[in-house]
């Protein structure tokens, strides 16, 4: 039996799916929030906050996240995927996120 895990990225505002969904964080009154948005929804958030950001004062900095920054909680071990890709002759960077296509090929082979 083969078990396959599929991760679907969904925009929290529009409930649309896509690979361009990214996690964004913001804080208000001491409460931090995370929201997953596509670029259009993210722009709506930025436009809505723009008047307040323009006159507000920064009180510190939060760690920056890139892309869909939810830590992988399921799926194959990136180290094993990189080792398998190297054996298969697939060029994968030693650091950073493993491309989805490579993960899918790895899962299909296992």
- Domain with residue 92: its CATH number is 4.10.320
Name the DSSP letter for residue 24.
Answer: E
Give the list of residues 6+ apart from residue 79 with CB closer than 8 angstroms, or none: none
pLDDT for the residue 10:
94
3 domain residue, yes or no:
no
Asked if residue 21 belongs to a domain, the reply is yes
Asked if the structure places residue 45 within a domain, the reply is yes
Highest mean pLDDT among 1-5, 10-14, 29-33, 80-84: 10-14
Considering the domain architecture, whether residues 82 and 64 belong to the same structural domain is answered as: no
Domain residues for the domain of 108 are 72-110
Same domain, yes or no: 61 and 13: yes
Q: What is the pLDDT of residue 77?
A: 87
Strand partners, 61: none
Whether this model's pTM surpasses 0.85: no
Instruction: List the CATH number of the domain containing 41.
Output: 3.30.60.230
Mean pLDDT throughout 5-11? 90
Claim to verify: residue 20 and residue 57 sit in the same structural domain: yes
SS in 3 state form for 25-69? EEEECCEEEEEEECHHHHHHHHHHHHHHHHHCCCCCCCCCCCCCC
């Amino acid at each position: 039996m083969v078990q396959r895990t599929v991760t679907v990225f969904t925009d929290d505002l529009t409930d649309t799916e896509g690979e361009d969904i990214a996690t964004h964080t913001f804080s208000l009154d001491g409460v931090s929030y995370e929201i997953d948005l596509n670029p259009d929804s993210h722009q709506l958030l930025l436009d809505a906050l723009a008047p307040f950001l323009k006159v507000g004062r920064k009180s510190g900095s939060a760690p920056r996240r890139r892309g869909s920054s939810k830590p992988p909680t399921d799926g194959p071990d990136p180290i094993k995927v990189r080792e398998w890709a190297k054996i298969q002759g697939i060029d994968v960077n030693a650091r950073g996120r493993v491309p989805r296509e490579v993960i899918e090929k790895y899962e299909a082979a296992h």
